[in-house]
Chain A
């Protein structure tokens, strides 16, 4: 899901270098991220991934993502890389270099997607998916509407937690008690989520959703920069592979 919507940044395609990425069409970002992530899957050495990671990280200051979101995401991100590195170092057969490679590879695969998601407004993303990538309306709008329910679910989870305490149900430090309580809460939340989802679906139907061809209130614009980004992604990937091969560090999965 997108974090840009949470910080209320993306709409209106703001200009200026610091928020350059916000102005890029979400479909272009998605395609570029997919190319980079999938393209890096075969390479397990730190150099290939490192080049992509370095270039993608250089885009971060121009992503327009606010500092709080960056800190939270960055923290999770680094933790993910560190834990991969440590696990590979302790249990892997490739030594320190291999562990470093595994960590860099994971981060390089994850970062483009993360940036694309964090810098895209969900509404713009849905528009782009439908108008630029030809995704059918029903799933695109359905996912968009479901996204709006995420904060509601967070509230309901809290209420359900309080309600268990009110009924005298609390795990405390007992992990054996925690599991059934957790699943009880999940069930209660599921019931609420289905109910809310059904109401929302009814409301969408009542507004003639799915009765025929739709028109679009917003245009998903495609600019030269969007084309450039989509072209740049495979070029970067090619450069990374070439450099690593040149240095003799390139190692492929199953290679």
Chain B
């Protein structure tokens, strides 16, 4: 008997999930995240949970994982009943295992084996059995290193595999996956999807999966359940039937439905002179405790960014995309070589971008960070947009006028007095783009640099973003993006610079012209 089948036998039968009239309201909120949910999931079923962003999908998963209750991680008010195998969900005995989005914040221990052992330890499993379970779980996810391998040295995809191993070692009968590939690059996501596919073929556990990018997981499930923000189940059935009947409505609400990708209206790139040029740049990873010394990721690299052009940086995580992006944005100084302004940009200041004073840099080169929150510096949405004009010497009235214009353009007017940190993911993304636009003259800097701008966004924000960037490009701005998003590349990128093996090469982008 091979070890895989032996393992699956030990998983035991799947759990049965039963919700009736279930609702959840987060502490301090007036509205319910979900309400009146009636749902039965039979043992061994594989369910994909769908809904617009903010529809409470993660909340439901957390509740199924037993994280609610007096000392749970989730505090709030519950109504109705939620039963796993006929009992209220609780955390004990490891009935449910949860895999969340970000592997970084799920690993507890410094060494791989210890991390997998953490769950069984909490369940009080005897020592000899713990290590047998650890080895088995590591084998099941195809973990390529030994028990002692430091978790800090793993790639994102490897980390997420380890997280899955940690859950498997607890022998759960209900597997809960909350966008397990959302934070990974395409290679990492493939790694994790392969493991999941293999796992689901051999386990009898019940599965509830939340995933934004439906097309990639639809083959793994046999049932799709759609929930509505503040409401209950609005559609339930086989994937094909649900998408045929509700596909368009779901897509309109921002869900990525297979075959219904958003179609942005983009124009031709006008092109223009080179504005920023990297000459003979060697770039190092920033020093970081626990990951050894800074490593040179790119050696003697040349790259150019032109006006009226969308330049995309692609490549696996860790290849140096973000490092190159921060250098091109003038935020960090390369270890060797220079990033120089060219053409009209050199008129502002001919020195390397890294030596520009911050205020001048912000006026000409705007940057949008992957985590929008990192770049917020004031306490209200309106102040975020007034900040740059005021610092550039504009009067109150002018700053207000410019803030209002951007608020309207990016559909943020109704949020003007809110604290930036309290916005939803899509709103934060729009605000972060707006702040970068607010610093330049004529409502946009000459160069706009964006790090994974479409990451984790629903189709509505995605579409707005692409059309906004297209409009900026049409007005002669240089757009630089680091991205894994193939749809974004297809619709927007004019030049693709592939970052790999310590160098940068221009990839052929045939077909984009033909599409337009």
List residues of A whose CB falls within 8 A of some B CB: 5-6, 8, 11-12, 121-123, 141, 144-145, 147-148, 150-152, 154-156, 158-160, 162-170, 172, 184, 188, 191-192, 196, 198-219
Knowing A166-B331, A172-B357, say if A148 contacts B107 (CB, 8 Å).
yes
Q: Is the CB of A211 within 8 A of B357?
A: no
- Kindly list 7 other residue pairs between chains A and B, CB separation below 8 angstroms, not including A151-B291, A165-B358: A150-B290, A151-B152, A170-B357, A188-B373, A199-B106, A202-B73, A215-B124
Smallest CB gap from B432: residue in A:
A163
Q: Nearest chain B CB to A73's CB is how many angstroms away?
A: 13
Knowing A164-B358, A168-B391, A168-B439, say if A206 contacts B91 (CB, 8 Å).
yes
Q: Is the CB of B332 within 8 A of A162?
A: yes
Main SS of the interface on chain A?
helix
B510 CB-CB contact with A under 8 Å: no
B408 surroundings in chain A (CB, below 8 A): none
Partner of A166 from B94, B110, B361 at Cβ < 8 Å = B361
Q: Is the CB of A211 within 8 A of B122?
A: yes
B5 CB-CB contact with A under 8 Å: no
B104 surroundings in chain A (CB, below 8 A): 152, 196
Report the contact-size class of chain B (Cβ under 8 Å from the partner). Answer: 35 or more
A199 to B98, CA, bound (A): 12
Most buried by A among B71, B94, B105: B105
Knowing A200-B106, A205-B67, say if A123 contacts B111 (CB, 8 Å).
yes
B245 surroundings in chain A (CB, below 8 A): none
Partner of A217 from B62, B90, B121, B436 at Cβ < 8 Å = B121
Q: Is the CB of A151 within 8 A of B170?
A: no
Q: Is the CB of B73 within 8 A of A191?
A: no
9-residue interface stretch from B31-39, B335-343, B374-382:
B374-382
Q: Is the CB of B387 within 8 A of A167?
A: yes
Q: Is the CB of A166 within 8 A of B329?
A: yes
Most buried by B among A170, A198, A202, A216: A202
A208 surroundings in chain B (CB, below 8 A): 91-94, 119, 122-123, 170
B122 surroundings in chain A (CB, below 8 A): 207-212, 214
Q: Is the CB of A198 within 8 A of B73?
A: yes
Q: Is the CB of A215 within 8 A of B125?
A: yes
Knowing A206-B91, A208-B122, say if A155 contacts B439 (CB, 8 Å).
no
A152 to B114, CA, bound (A): 20
Partner of B110 from A122, A203, A213 at Cβ < 8 Å = A122
Q: Is the CB of A202 within 8 A of B435?
A: no
